[in-house]
Structure 1
Amino acid sequence: MRWVVADVGGTNTRMAFAQDGKLVTGSVQWFLNDDYPTFADVLVDFVQDAPVDGLCVAIAGPVMPGHVRLTNRDWSFDADQLSMVLGGAKVRIINDLAAVGHALPYLAPDAVVPVVPGRAAPGGQSLVVGIGTGFNVSLAHGNGVMLAEEGHTGLSIGVWRVLQDHLGEKAAAFETVEQVFSGSGLRALHLALGGVEMPSQQIVRDARLTMGVFVTALAALVRDMTFQFMPLGGIYFNGGLARAVVGLPETGEILAAARVQDMFEGTLSDIPMCVVVDDAAALAGCVACLERT
């Protein structure tokens, strides 16, 4: 069986072939979404008329029955349409963070880097926290992954207090999780703190005040999500901005200091946190989904 797997983000699309339940070595390709009017055009460009038995697409956005629409790009498509493009191949569409959740059991040891040490509970559920162009989470347990759109939820009181302490009345401009914890959110936070317009990666590298506030707010968010999701199997950060932020020397210390202590027999104080550094993680999750269908 020859499959195509795709990870469609707001800016780029990664695609690869898979065979016998594994990614085909050397087949991963990157595409700049701005170069294509639709995802179907990217698919045609990648496949180049090669016979395909199945397709799994991980998208940055909610997967609705019958169709999907990206939250960070004006692209929409459905499984039937993509099946026709591939000559009747089986098609499955999943959320990109759900794909990373499916991939967790299959990631190589060097695909993750520890951020906060701890001890994962055997059989415990794991939380994937995606911070990039947008924000979302997925909760993985065994072969199952819970769907979510956490980025559109309102800010918790813990995060709000961090923002209010540093921004005062300007904190009112930040209402949802994604309005803070995303590339655009980081840039807006930097401006609200009196900084000048600059790319997210430059803010991470050069703006110590902004990053201090951002990481402190992130620690408050992670603490709240610990109660929400009870991720005794560990917390996995994923996404370009997540890798940059949790790679800062102080991030691990701040996250560790904010962990829940002395509750539920101490289990929440020992949750490990790490960052996924494998760009192909979502693709591996797509392969796992096709294997199970």
Structure 2
Amino acid sequence: MNGGEYAVVADIGGTNARFSRLHLETFEMDRVQVFACADYPTLTDVLEAYRDEQKVELEHVAIAIACPVDSDEINMTNHHWQFSIRGVRKSMGLKTFIVLNDFAAAAMSIVTCKPHELKQIGGGKIKPGAPKAVLGAGTGLGVGHLITLPDGQVMPLPGEGGHVDWAPTNEKEWAIHRFIHNRFGRVSAERVLSGPGLETIYLALADYHGKPVAPLSAAKIGQRAISGIDTLALETVNQFFASLGSFAGNLALNLNTYGGVYIAGGVVPKLMQLMATSNFRARFEHKGRFCKVAEAIPCFVITAEHAGLRGVGQYLKQSLQQSATKK
């Protein structure tokens, strides 16, 4: 197979960079490989590593990356990689190099998901053609939307909604807010609704209860909460889901997302068994005079493997179709 028959797609977060080869005729993916971003000084280095280890040619490349994509200069939010889109294309001799925001890709992935890859958490039925929202907690907090155009094509609306102000709703949350403010200054949603946010909630709640504890990783907090051996860890996860519910409900109201609110990212799927007994859905629907609107909107957790890669592939597929139509 020559390079012109496939593309390479990547989903690059603050921690991991996932790569795959995408067949341009069938749009099937293979040769999936995950790299730790910290192991590579630059994006070019990890592209070369994938090329060399998988024995693929790099001609057509499309990547989703965890930061704003609004100019030629890319600066990752939660990692040190910086690059010029034109510079990478030229230095690596690429025929195509598409860069999009990671939650534009997450939004595009929704249309690739099969019913068994979406776990519904409350609400009614999807209204076809209605706007959709997607959010995901991982190294940071990503947010995006997806709208359907009159011709039936879909268009992602990336943004930086993870960096809006976090709004406490009760006395305990005000204590968490004060703790985070004292540590970081401004309190954004990402400071709470992310892997590092889970770690911060744990310390904030320990401070609230006057209980000295050592810091724990998000993975350890989740494990201890699920096992039931640590009541503070369980309280932390429950608080995380309560705040996530409020935030997701706000997204639902922003665009009346009767197409659903979709949760991606690495944190929530690992804690799914605690989500059902949390206040996630109650807080999602707790919207005062607009609670009926929120109650009708379904939420889904995306359980599909490599959803971000699929979203990049879907974006590339649609871009190629649009280019072919114009010719």
In structure 1, what is the Cα distance between the partners aligned to 2:142 and 2:65?
Answer: 12
Q: What SS is found at the alignment partner of 1:201?
A: helix
Shift of 1:261: 6.8
Tell me if 1:175 matches 2:187. Answer: yes
Deviations 1:225-251 (A, max 9, x none): 222232111111111112224x03344
Higher relative contact order (CA 8 A, sep 6+): 1
Deviations 1:213-269 (A, max 9, x none): 222222222222222232111111111112224x03344652222315785694431
Asked if the contact 2:246–2:286 (Cα under 8 Å) also holds between the matched residues in 1, the reply is no
Tell me if 1:212 matches 2:243. Answer: no
Q: Which residue of 1 aligns with 2:144?
A: 138
In structure 1, what is the Cα distance between the partners aligned to 2:222 and 2:270?
Answer: 7
Matched to 1:38, the amino acid is T
Q: What SS is found at the alignment partner of 1:41?
A: helix
Out of 156, 169, 174, the position equivalent to 2:167 is: 156
Q: Which residue of 2 aligns with 1:87?
A: 93
The verdict on how the C-alpha distance between 1:80 and 1:117 changes in structure 2, with shifts beyond 3 A counting, is same
Asked if the contact 2:23–2:29 (Cα under 8 Å) also holds between the matched residues in 1, the reply is no
Out of 29, 34, 37, the position equivalent to 1:33 is: 37
Identify which range, 209-218 or 177-186, moves more after superposition. Answer: 209-218
The verdict on how the C-alpha distance between 1:81 and 1:110 changes in structure 2, with shifts beyond 3 A counting, is farther
Deviations 1:50-78 (A, max 9, x none): 33442111001111311211111110122
Shift of 1:280: 1.5
Q: What SS is found at the alignment partner of 1:193?
A: helix
Pair member with larger Rg: 2
Shift of 1:25: 4.4
In structure 2, what is the Cα distance between the partners aligned to 1:95 and 1:263?
Answer: 34
Give ranges in structure 1 of 5+ residues lacking alignment: none
The verdict on how the C-alpha distance between 1:33 and 1:262 changes in structure 2, with shifts beyond 3 A counting, is closer
Q: What SS is found at the alignment partner of 2:267?
A: helix
Tell me if 1:118 matches 2:124. Answer: yes
Q: What SS is found at the alignment partner of 2:252?
A: helix
Count of matched residue pairs? 290
Matched to 1:82, the amino acid is V
Asked if the contact 2:137–2:266 (Cα under 8 Å) also holds between the matched residues in 1, the reply is yes
Asked if the contact 1:72–1:134 (Cα under 8 Å) also holds between the matched residues in 2, the reply is yes
The verdict on how the C-alpha distance between 1:169 and 1:221 changes in structure 2, with shifts beyond 3 A counting, is same
The verdict on how the C-alpha distance between 1:37 and 1:79 changes in structure 2, with shifts beyond 3 A counting, is same
Asked if the contact 2:78–2:140 (Cα under 8 Å) also holds between the matched residues in 1, the reply is yes
Q: What SS is found at the alignment partner of 1:230?
A: coil
In structure 2, what is the Cα distance between the partners aligned to 1:205 and 1:88?
Answer: 43
Out of 194, 217, 220, the position equivalent to 1:202 is: 220
Matched to 1:255, the amino acid is F
Matched to 2:166, the amino acid is L
TM-score of the pair, normalised by structure 1: 0.89
Q: Which residue of 2 aligns with 1:188?
A: 200
Identify which range, 183-192 or 14-23, moves more after superposition. Answer: 14-23
Tell me if 1:7 matches 2:11. Answer: yes
Q: Which residue of 2 aligns with 1:240?
A: 266
Matched to 2:215, the amino acid is E
Identify which range, 100-109 or 129-138, moves more after superposition. Answer: 100-109
In structure 2, what is the Cα distance between the partners aligned to 1:140 and 1:21?
Answer: 25
Identify which range, 149-158 or 236-245, moves more after superposition. Answer: 149-158
The verdict on how the C-alpha distance between 1:18 and 1:169 changes in structure 2, with shifts beyond 3 A counting, is closer
Asked if the contact 1:187–1:197 (Cα under 8 Å) also holds between the matched residues in 2, the reply is yes
In structure 2, what is the Cα distance between the partners aligned to 1:109 and 1:264?
Answer: 28
Shift of 1:278: 2.1
Out of 282, 300, 305, the position equivalent to 1:274 is: 300
Asked if the contact 1:115–1:252 (Cα under 8 Å) also holds between the matched residues in 2, the reply is no
Root-mean-square deviation (Å)? 2.4
Asked if the contact 1:21–1:288 (Cα under 8 Å) also holds between the matched residues in 2, the reply is no
Asked if the contact 1:235–1:273 (Cα under 8 Å) also holds between the matched residues in 2, the reply is yes
Give ranges in structure 2 of 5+ residues lacking alignment: 149-153, 207-212, 225-232, 320-327
Shift of 1:179: 0.8
Matched to 1:203, the amino acid is I
Q: Which residue of 1 aligns with 2:322?
A: none
The verdict on how the C-alpha distance between 1:252 and 1:209 changes in structure 2, with shifts beyond 3 A counting, is closer
